[in-house]
Structure 1
């Protein structure tokens, strides 16, 4: 009796067996082959950097799909943020227009902030932004959002904890 050889559970085999499928799935949802190819590659880079063992992976397509969906969501969030930024730039007078280098740095900073705050619950994010961007005090924030000052303090503590944990 001939024994079947064990399955090849390497990243190479995962890529070989599923890249085309994942890229096609992304292309159908995004309507753009170039972006789908980029996100497919990014998905495999995430797998490479993850702690998930490829050997123990029972449902590789489900795992790849989960990562691909998250990356696609991030892609559209980033694109929406970039559009809002470019719209805001378009309304500036020419003499206030930042240089291309400054625009790039600002956009990268906005994306990093968006990613940083992404893990916060919406009310916590709102309180944090009112405090940090508008410079409002806790009492003012509480009045504006119709919550107690104690709730504002609790939300700010959660936001700071979130930011500090991401720094570690």
Structure 2
């Protein structure tokens, strides 16, 4: 084990011992579910372990809160996406409803797309969603975003390039 990796493990171990119970309590207040709070507290420390090296953390609780809050946001987005997908499925006639396996494959694909879109700059993401979900034409998107059509074309090119890279 490299020295930097050992230092990182030691740092995370100390943070865990000193702040895990507090973080789990903080998450429980936000989520109202002890199992989910425990899972996200665990995921917060796993996220720390995935770092490349140890860093000097001046305010450990603020640092942990920032990571955990991002995980809470991701969880809520994922749940909202799942609910929307399940609502659409509930409206389908029985013969058209996909199997459980097909639903899971589609849900996994939606999650990948959601993460991909989350990584785009806000204007690029908004232009892409207006085009693909709302069916707006580039000129309409340009009006809504208060930019020229050329900018919308650049945004869309970036979004499509990201989608293609995400397929790999």
Fold-level similarity (TM above 0.5):
yes
Q: 1:9/1:110 Cα in 2 relative to 1: closer, same or farther (>3 Å)?
A: same
CA distance in 2 between partners of 1:109 and 1:70 (Å) = 21
Q: Which runs of 4+ in 1 moved over 6 A?
A: 164-168
Q: How far off its partner does 1:126 sit? A: 3.6
Tell me which residue corresponds to 2:30.
29
Q: Give ranges in structure 2 of 5+ residues lacking alignment.
A: 1-8
> TM-score, normalised to structure 1's length?
0.80
Q: How far off its partner does 1:109 sit? A: 0.7
Asked if 2 retains the 8 angstrom alpha-carbon contact of 1:120 and 1:159, the reply is yes
Within a 5 Å distance, the mapping from 1:1-168 to structure 2 comes to 9-51=10-52, 53=54, 56-129=56-129, 141-145=137-141, 146=143, 148-160=148-160, 162=162
CA distance in 1 between partners of 2:118 and 2:112 (Å) = 10
The SS at the match of 1:13 is helix
CA distance in 2 between partners of 1:119 and 1:100 (Å) = 29
Asked if 1 retains the 8 angstrom alpha-carbon contact of 2:28 and 2:34, the reply is yes
Asked if 2 retains the 8 angstrom alpha-carbon contact of 1:22 and 1:40, the reply is yes
Q: Give ranges in structure 1 of 5+ residues lacking alignment.
A: 1-7
Residue-pair matches, total = 156
Q: 1:122/1:149 Cα in 2 relative to 1: closer, same or farther (>3 Å)?
A: same
> TM-score, normalised to structure 2's length?
0.80
Higher helix fraction (1 or 2): 2
Q: 1:148/1:81 Cα in 2 relative to 1: closer, same or farther (>3 Å)?
A: same
Give 1 or 2 for the bigger CA radius of gyration: 1
Q: How far off its partner does 1:142 sit? A: 2.0
Report the aligned-residue RMSD.
2.7
